[in-house]
C-alpha cells in the first residue's frame, strides 16, 4: 500500500479500501513484467483506470453516478486481472504473477460490487424521500416521467 505522512489530510478516495486495493493491483500488474508490450500496456491502463475511477466515484455527489463509476472501476479491475492471466497462458509472464494478482483482484471486485449495491440502496432511498417531499407515494414517483407518459 502507499505510504502517507502523519497528519496529512486525505482526499475522499484515500479513505476507501477499494482505492488501496486498486493501487495494490496496479503494483501487482506492474510487477508481473508482461513481455508482450501491447498486453502489458493494456493491463497497466486497465489497472490505472480502476484506481482513477474509484477516485472519481468518491468525488461524485449523486449516488446513481457514484454507482455507475464504481461499476466501471469494477470492469477495469477485472480486465487488468484477465490481462495478467492471458499473459500467463500465452507464456508472456510467469504463473506466479497471476497468483499475486488474483487475490487482490478478487477482493477489489467484491468491495466494488458492495459499493455499487450500497449506492443503489441509497439511490432508492433518495427516490422515496423525494416522493415524500412531493407528497406522492414512492411507486407513483417511479412511474412519473417528464413526458407525462
The proportion of the chain whose per-residue pLDDT surpasses 70, expressed as a percent, equals 75
Q: Is the pLDDT of residue 137 over 80?
A: no
CATH of the domain at 38: 1.20.1440.60
Domain count, the chain: 1
Q: Is the pLDDT of residue 141 over 70?
A: no
In a domain, 67, yes or no: yes
Least confident range from 26-40, 89-103, 114-128: namely 114-128
In a domain, 65, yes or no: yes
Residue range 87-112: average pLDDT?
Answer: 98
In a domain, 124, yes or no: no
Would you report the helix, strand and coil content of the chain in percent, each value rounded to 5?
75, 0, 25
In a domain, 126, yes or no: no
Q: Which domain holds residue 38?
A: 12-117
Q: What's the confidence (pLDDT) of residue 144?
A: 41
pLDDT band at 10; cut points 50, 70, 90: confident
Q: Which residue is it, cell 417528464?
A: 146
The pTM score is 0.78
In a domain, 18, yes or no: yes
Burial of 43 (0-12, 13-18, 19+ CB in 10 A): buried
Closest CA to 140 of 121, 120, 119, 132: 132
Least confident range from 37-41, 51-55, 142-146: namely 142-146
Distance separating alpha carbons of residues 95 and 144, to the nearest angstrom: 54
| Total Cβ atoms within 10 A of residue 75 | 15
In a domain, 70, yes or no: yes
Q: What's the confidence (pLDDT) of residue 30?
A: 98
Distance separating alpha carbons of residues 128 and 130, to the nearest angstrom: 5
Q: What is the mean pLDDT of the chain?
A: 86
In a domain, 43, yes or no: yes
In a domain, 139, yes or no: no
Amino acid at each position: 500500500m502507499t505510504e502517507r505522512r502523519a497528519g496529512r489530510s486525505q482526499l475522499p478516495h484515500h479513505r476507501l479500501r477499494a482505492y488501496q486495493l486498486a493501487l495494490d493491483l496496479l503494483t501487482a500488474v506492474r510487477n508481473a513484467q508482461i513481455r508482450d508490450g501491447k498486453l502489458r500496456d493494456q493491463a497497466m491502463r486497465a489497472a490505472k483506470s480502476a484506481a482513477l475511477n474509484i477516485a472519481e466515484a468518491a468525488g461524485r455527489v449523486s449516488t446513481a453516478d457514484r454507482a455507475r463509476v464504481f461499476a466501471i472501476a469494477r470492469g477495469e479491475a477485472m480486465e487488468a486481472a484477465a490481462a495478467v492471466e492471458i499473459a500467463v497462458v500465452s507464456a508472456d509472464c510467469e504463473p506466479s504473477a497471476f497468483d499475486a494478482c488474483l487475490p487482490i483482484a478478487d477482493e477489489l471486485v467484491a468491495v466494488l460490487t458492495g459499493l455499487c449495491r450500497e449506492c443503489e440502496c441509497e439511490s432508492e432511498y433518495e427516490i422515496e424521500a423525494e416522493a415524500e417531499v412531493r407528497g406522492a407515494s414512492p411507486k407513483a414517483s417511479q412511474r412519473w416521467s417528464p413526458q407525462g407518459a
